[in-house]
Structure formats: C-alpha cells, structure tokens
Structure 1
Amino acid sequence: MAKLLNRIYGIGRLLPKTGALGEVPSTGQAYRELLRIALPSVLEMVLLSLIGSIDTMMVGTIGASAIAAVGLVGQPRMLMLCIFFAMNIGVTAVVARRKGEERQDEANQTLRNAVVIILALSLVMMTIGLTFSRQLMTMAGAKADTIDDAETYFRILTYFLPVNALSMGLCAALRGVGDTRTTMYVNICSNLVNVVFNYLLINGVGFFPKLGTKGAALATAIGFTVGMCLALYSVFRKDGNTYLRLSFKEDWRLKKDTVKAITKVGGNAMLEQIALRIGFFLYARIVAELGTLAFAAHQIGMQFLNLSFTFGDGIGVAGTSLVGQMLGKKRPDLAQMYGKIAQRIAMTTAIILATLILTFRYPLVSLFVSQQSVINTTATIMLILALFQPFQTSAVVVGGALRGAGDTRYVAKVMLICVAIIRPVLSFTAVTVITRFFTPLTTQVAHSSASWLNVIDYWTNQIPVFALMGAWSASLIDMIVRMRSMLHRFNSGKWHNIKL
C-alpha cells in the first residue's frame, strides 16, 4: 500500500521526465507548502458559497418577486465584472512571477498600476451601468412586477462597483504571492457583514428601517465597503510582514512594460470570460425550456455543482500562485511538480465528494425542496454530478496552473470550444431529440390503446427528466474534453518558456 501511495503522490513521479534542475523539496515539504496556500482559499470559497445560499434565503423572506428581482441582476452584473475578472487573472500571474524572480519592487509596481487601471475602468463601467440600468434589466427579462426592484438593486450595486472591483483586485494580487489567509479574512468578514445587515435592513429590526430589496442591496454594498477597507489595510499597513505594500510616496504612474504584462494575460482571460458567459447563458436557456419541475431540479443540482467547484477552485489558487513563482525562479521543473501536486490533491478531494454525493444525494436534495418529484429528479442528475467530480476538479486545477504560467490564450481557446460550443450544442441536440422524438411517440401510443393511458402519462411526465439528464450529460462531455485538453497542454511543457 505504501508503495502504491508513493507511486501516486511521491514527488519523484511528479517531476518532468528531464529531471530536476536543482534542489527539490521532500514530498512532505512540497505538499505542506501547497496546502498552506490552498486550505485558506478552499475554506474561503466554501464558506462564501454557503453564505451566498443564506443570503438568497434571507431575500426569499420578502417573497418570490424579490428573489426574481435579485436574480435578474446577476447576469448584467457579471457581464460588467467580466473585465475585472480577466484583469485579476493577469494581476495574479504577473505578481506571482515577480515574487519568484525576487523583484519585490516590480511586484508592488504591478499592484499600483493595477489599482489605477481598476479605478479608471470601474468608473467608466459604473457610468455605463447607471445610464442604461433600466434597459439592462429589461434585456435580462424583468417584467412589470420585478423591474422596479431589480433596477433599484442594480443601481445601488453599480454605485459601489469601484469599491467591489478594487477589493477584488487587491485580493487577486495577494493570492499571487500566496497570501490566501488575508484574502480569506477579507472576504469572509465582508460577507458576514452582508448577512448581518441583510437581517437588519430587509425586514427591519429595532430602529433599522424595513427596506426590502433595497435593504438587501445596501447590505451587500456595506459588505463590499468593509472588504475593501480590510484589503487596503492589509497592503498599506507599515507594521505587517506582507510582501505587497502600497504607499502614496511611491510612483503611481502607469509603466508600459507592467501594463503590457497584465494585459497580455488578462486580454486572453477576457476572451475566456466572454466564452463562459455565452456558454452558461445558452445552457440555462436550453434547460429553462424543459418546464418548472426540470428547471427547479437543475437549479438545485447547480447549487451542489457550484459548491463542489469551490474545492477545485481553492486548490487551483495555490497551483496558480506556486506555478507562477517557480517559473519566476527559473524552476519549471518545480512549477510542473506543484501543478501535479495540486491535481493529485484535487483528485483525492473529488473522489471523496463523489462518494458523499452518491451516498447522501436524497437527504442533501431534501434540504432544498420537499416536493418528491423534484427530489427524485434532482437525485437522478446527482448521479451525473458525482461523475463530474474528478474531471471538473482536474480541469479547474490544471487550468489554474496554466493561467499562473501566463498561458491564458490556450485556456481561452479550450473554454471557447468546450463551454461556448460543445456544451450548448450537445445540450440542445439532446433536449431536442428526446422531446421531439418521444413526445409524439407517447401521444401516438396513447391514442391507440386506452388501457395504456396511465403508463403513457407516466412516461410523458418523464420526458423532461430524460431531457435534463441529456443536458447534464452534455456538460459532462464538455468537462471531459476540457480536462483532457488542459492536461495535454500541461504535460507538454510548452508553457515553461512564456515570458511576462
């Protein structure tokens, strides 16, 4: 058993075939270093996911229209944040590389330039969002009973877009140097403040007014502000040991080489973000056509998918940071080793998650809904979700390692092909074939034999369930192709020599 574990997890098997380029840490040291960065990040993301669910439940106390209004804000807001998500990938990669190169001054220069760019872009996006808030909510599908609440919620969050974007950018830089503990504190505190003020402002407690949806938006804005203040404190404080430090005494002018390095990575990451938004939007629209029961089951399944995703994403943060740092130290062998260690840890986590999902899928689903038909449908797609785990976590972690190396162009191409093309095309094909073939067939059989009516009625009701399984199976194929593509690129070592 010990030999088998050593073959799977021992660093001797994780180094490139060309061998080590210098001193190599022991297996224990290597795993401890990665877990030191990964564990706070995993804890942060899992807790944020859980807090997000609590946030939704609290908004739900107002009524269904409030949930719908808040939900409508999601896609337009994510589109506005796309540019910052992409830029932050660039910031993380460049800062990690500069730390590895032991160029602390340039790492801090990267952070200063990022802050200037983020503030400028966020003011532009804020202006656009406020100017076209009504139109954006209409495009998102707001109806007469939701558009006013949706617009109010959206406008409040848009006013605080610079605050949110700055906090995200600072945390991205901190992750680049491996300081995931600080980002964990920042984001958990921010979200806990959000939950507390949700409680105080949504339905009114004591002298706090009852503001409904507006109160939920203000609570989120207050949480953003607390997060930004904590993030700023972490990089401006003089008594800390943080690698990144900001000071107004330094030069804040934009540097051509620094901006070029950020945009080289971030530009390709922007294409990835666009592909993700398009793919997820099309996929959601396809599934929404299957009816209320199937879509409810899909939404519950997505809650579990997103929660399981956070484990891979948290481990991937450590891979991103260490791969970038090792390349900065001119040690691509260690970069490859840490990338593979992250994948091994992620795969182990995936097996545990898959086992839990398979074993407890019915009681887990029952936490969200009491309607037995929805429970049964969701439990069925949870079987596919269990199969997702090893492919999803590997794709996320290896993709993070490639981003840390600056190989975002390849990652963007894979995401475009898999998420924006393979997933929606296969989902549409599966749903169309199942619904258009089986619906007329069951109708024809029902007309030919009255004695079969109960049986036919049962199978007719199952058609959306089968179609939903087809859509989820299409997502599984997307995930498998994505994982294989990412692993092929990672194992090729072509990312070793990317300059930033």
Structure 2
Amino acid sequence: MIVEGRRGPGVLALAAPALVVLAAEPLYLLVDTAVVGNLGTVALGGLAIGGGLLAWAVALLNFLAYGTTARAARRAGAGDRAGAVAEGVQATWLALGLGLLVLVVFQALAGPLTRTLAGGAGPVAAAGETWLRIAGLGAPLLLVSLAGNGWLRGVQELRRPMRYVLAGSLVSLVLCPLLVHAAGLGLPGSAVANVAGQAVSAALFVRAILREEVGWRPRPAAIRAQLVIGRDLLLRAAVLQLAFLVATGVVARAGTAELGAHQIAIQLFFFLALVLDAYAIAAQTLVGQALGAGRPDDARATARRVTGWGLATGVLVAAVLLIVRPVVLPLFTDDPAVVAQAGVAWWFLAGMQPLAGVVFALDGVLMGAGDVGYLRTVTIGAALVGFVPLSLLAVPLGWGLAGVWTGLVLFIALRLVAVLVRVAGDRWLTAPETVTA
C-alpha cells in the first residue's frame, strides 16, 4: 500500500483542489441558468440549446486535459519534470489550433446547428444562435485552460489551477447578473460574461507555463503524438456528447417546459459529475505516477481507495439532492410547468449518484493507466445500447422526460459493470503507455 507521507499527496489531498476546479465552471453555469431563467422560458431554452452546443465542443476536446494529465504524470513519475511541462507546452499549442477551428465552425454554422436542436426556426433557436455566436469566441480560451489544467495535474500541482479557475469564475459570476439584468443586455449578457471569465483563466494558465524553463517552440511530432493518444478519448467524447445532444433534441420536441426542465436537471448532472470526477483526477495523477515509477501495487491500492470514496460521496450527494429539492428548484424558475417537469427528472438524478461516483472514479484509474481504448469501447457501447435508444423512443412512446432520464441511468449502470470487471483484473496495469520517447 502507498505510504502517503513518503510517496507524496494522497487521494484526498489531490481531490480537494481538483474538486474546486471541476466544480467552478458548472457552478457558474448553474448560476447562469438561474439568472437567465428569470428572463423567461424562451431565454432559458436558448441557453439550453446554445450552451449545450458549446459544452459539447469543449467536452469533445477534453482529451486536452485528461490526455495531457496522463502523459505528464508518467513523465513526472519517472523523474522527468521538464518533460512533463513540455507536454503542457505542446498541448497548449494544440488547444489554440483546435479552439480557433471551433470558433470558425460556430460562427459559420450557429444558425443551422441551433435550429436543428430546437426542431426548426423559432424564438428559442434564435436566442440560442445569438448566445452561441458570442460565447463561441471564448472557445480557444477554454481549450487553453484545459491544457493548462492537464500538465499541472500531472506534476501534482493542483492548487494553482484552482486559483486560476476561481479567478475566471469570479469575474463571470459578477458580470453575469450585471450584464443580463442591470445593463439590460438579456441573454447576450450571459455570453459576454462567459467569455470575460474565460479570458482571465486562460491568461493565468499561459503565464504559468511561460515561467517554466522549457522551450516554447511547437513540435509537430509531439503534437501528432498527443493527437494519437487523444484519439480514443476524442472518439469516446464524441459519441458521449452526441448522445447528450440527441437527448436534448428529443426533449426540445417534447415541449418548451420539458426543455427548460431538462436544462436545469442536466446542468445539475454535469455539475455533480464533475464534482465526483475530483476522485478521478486524483486517481489519474496517482496511478500515472505510480506506473511511471514502476509501482503497480500502489496503482491498485489507489483504485481501491477511490472506489470507496466515490461510492460514499455518491450516496451523500443523492441524500442531499432529495432533501433540498423543494428549495432548489424554485431558484431556477417560477414557471409551474417547468418546476413540475424538473421534479420528474430529479428522482433519476438523485438515484444515479452512487453508481456515478464509482464509475467516474474508476474512469480516472483507467485513464491514468493509459487504458483509454477500453474506456472508449465501454462508453460507446453503453451509449448506443442504453442511452440513445431510450432517448429516441421517449417521445413516440409517450415517456417524455422520464424516458430520456431512464436512458441516462442505464448508460451509467452499464459503464459501472464494465469498469468494475476491468479493474478487478490485471490487464489495465499493463495497458499501452501514454508517453512516447
């Protein structure tokens, strides 16, 4: 077993600052949803459509954080800190390139994309398009922050990312209600607040890596290697985000109240998923460094610990959700129809938390081990077998929002079985390395 005083920080020491980093953005989005929700159902629906598309793009490219963490942790575990930081430099160049591509795509296709998700032209689609065109300007900034988080996690420096992300989130939190209501900008004010906060965080991450004594020249070979390592994570994220977009599209066709309720519940789901993912970040860092240093027994001990912490935290979160439901829902909207529909999704949201706590923690273990090919296959299979079919059947069979959320619970349950089976064996301990020479 790992002797934490000698090996470095343990699960909780790494998970605590990771929790703050992971929770900051979705917590801001929850506040953003509450601020916009008071503008009315159309604005809330527009935020659901536009925000869903931006979240999809960022989650699709999240390998910039998770892939970089695994690569940097392996190098740091082998005693090569400079090499770990160099992974962050190349990831930052890659983030800038991909971010500019996302920006161009959103400016060119914001209208068709939002109309497709909204089920046709209308006030909700128009509101979503306006929000997306403004918020999409921050795509390069968001991706640079992902890369910065990745290399700093890999070298076990999680307090700096915490400060950087909190600084950006604080700017957004202050500006959002001021721009939306006080300045009278309405929904576009929400998008401007997003971009302003993202600019602050990205600038701090860039400053951090500029202070390191490593070369800043882009290296095409290293960037290609990162893309190869990120391929499985990219495909996994693409199918996962496509499944969530399908669910949003299905709910949009069910009705405006259902869409508003889904926006509230799904933002809570993403928030809680990232809260639970704090254990995954700790596991990824510790497992990557343990295997980089040739200590497989320590990696297995980490897997056991994060499983226990994930389960216990999931149970606690589920209990809190059930207790606070009557108080929290009215904070997002005063529309009785939306509140009623959100109450339906709430039971599913609470019930899945213990399962999700274990799934997300073990995802981090397997990512730290470089076993991303297995995670890719499991996630795609669970989405195509469970989540997507039930979502598509929800409207024609009259299941509504309950059908979509039943699919999401099945998606989590199928992944749970798969990762438990994998970690119980030994193959993940000898997965292909995430670091190239």
Structure-2-length-normalised TM-score: 0.87
Letter in 2 for 1:351: V
Contact 1:384 1:473 in 2 (8 A): yes
Asked if 1:217 is matched to 2:191, the reply is: yes
Measure, in 2, the Cα distance between the counterparts of 1:295 and 1:64. 9
1:114 paired residue number: 91
Task: Summarize the Cα distance change of 1:115–1:303 in structure 2 as closer, same or farther, 3 Å threshold.
Answer: closer
Asked if 1:44 is matched to 2:21, the reply is: yes
Alpha-carbon distance, 1:483 to partner? 0.6
**Equivalent residue in structure 1 for 2:203, among 205, 217, 229:** 229
CA RMSD of aligned residues (A): 3.0
2:140 paired residue number: 162
Task: Summarize the Cα distance change of 1:32–1:346 in structure 2 as closer, same or farther, 3 Å threshold.
Answer: farther
Asked if 1:272 is matched to 2:249, the reply is: no
Asked if 1:343 is matched to 2:307, the reply is: yes
**Equivalent residue in structure 2 for 1:311, among 246, 268, 275:** 275
Contact 1:84 1:169 in 2 (8 A): no
**Equivalent residue in structure 2 for 1:73, among 50, 70, 74:** 50
Task: Summarize the Cα distance change of 1:470–1:114 in structure 2 as closer, same or farther, 3 Å threshold.
Answer: closer
Q: Within 5 Å, give how 1:69-468 maps onto structure 2.
A: 69-141=46-118, 143-145=121-123, 149-204=127-182, 210-237=184-211, 245=212, 250=215, 252-254=217-219, 256=221, 258-291=222-255, 296-368=260-332, 378-379=342-343, 381-429=345-393, 432-433=396-397, 435=398, 468=401
Structure-1-length-normalised TM-score: 0.77
Asked if 1:34 is matched to 2:11, the reply is: yes
Alpha-carbon distance, 1:64 to partner? 3.9
Give the structure with higher Rg (CA). 1
Mean alpha-carbon deviation: is it higher for 42-51 or for 488-497?
42-51
**Residue 185 of structure 2: SS of its match in structure 1?**
coil
Residue deviations 1:351-370 (CA, integer Å, cap 9, x gap): 21223334444444454456
Task: Summarize the Cα distance change of 1:278–1:385 in structure 2 as closer, same or farther, 3 Å threshold.
Answer: same
Contact 1:138 1:147 in 2 (8 A): yes
**Residue 406 of structure 1: SS of its match in structure 2?**
coil
Contact 1:112 1:246 in 2 (8 A): no
Measure, in 1, the Cα distance between the counterparts of 2:428 and 2:142. 32
Measure, in 2, the Cα distance between the counterparts of 1:149 and 1:477. 32
Task: Summarize the Cα distance change of 1:294–1:59 in structure 2 as closer, same or farther, 3 Å threshold.
Answer: closer
Measure, in 2, the Cα distance between the counterparts of 1:470 and 1:144. 25
**Residue 345 of structure 1: SS of its match in structure 2?**
helix
Contact 2:284 2:369 in 1 (8 A): yes
Contact 1:31 1:341 in 2 (8 A): no
Task: Summarize the Cα distance change of 1:356–1:202 in structure 2 as closer, same or farther, 3 Å threshold.
Answer: closer
Alpha-carbon distance, 1:482 to partner? 0.6
Alpha-carbon distance, 1:298 to partner? 4.3
Residue deviations 1:388-415 (CA, integer Å, cap 9, x gap): 1221111111012111211111111111
Gaps of 5+ in 2: none
Task: Summarize the Cα distance change of 1:294–1:162 in structure 2 as closer, same or farther, 3 Å threshold.
Answer: closer
**Residue 179 of structure 1: SS of its match in structure 2?**
coil
Task: Summarize the Cα distance change of 1:37–1:273 in structure 2 as closer, same or farther, 3 Å threshold.
Answer: same
Alpha-carbon distance, 1:204 to partner? 4.4
Contact 1:87 1:270 in 2 (8 A): no
Measure, in 2, the Cα distance between the counterparts of 1:118 and 1:296. 32
Alpha-carbon distance, 1:272 to partner? 0.7
Measure, in 2, the Cα distance between the counterparts of 1:299 and 1:76. 12
Residue deviations 1:106-125 (CA, integer Å, cap 9, x gap): 11221222122222232333
Residue deviations 1:361-394 (CA, integer Å, cap 9, x gap): 4444454456677656654554443331221111
2:424 paired residue number: 491
2:409 paired residue number: 476
Q: Count matched residues.
A: 432
Residue deviations 1:90-118 (CA, integer Å, cap 9, x gap): 21110111111111221122122212222
Gaps of 5+ in 1: 1-10, 12-23, 238-244, 436-463
Task: Summarize the Cα distance change of 1:260–1:132 in structure 2 as closer, same or farther, 3 Å threshold.
Answer: closer
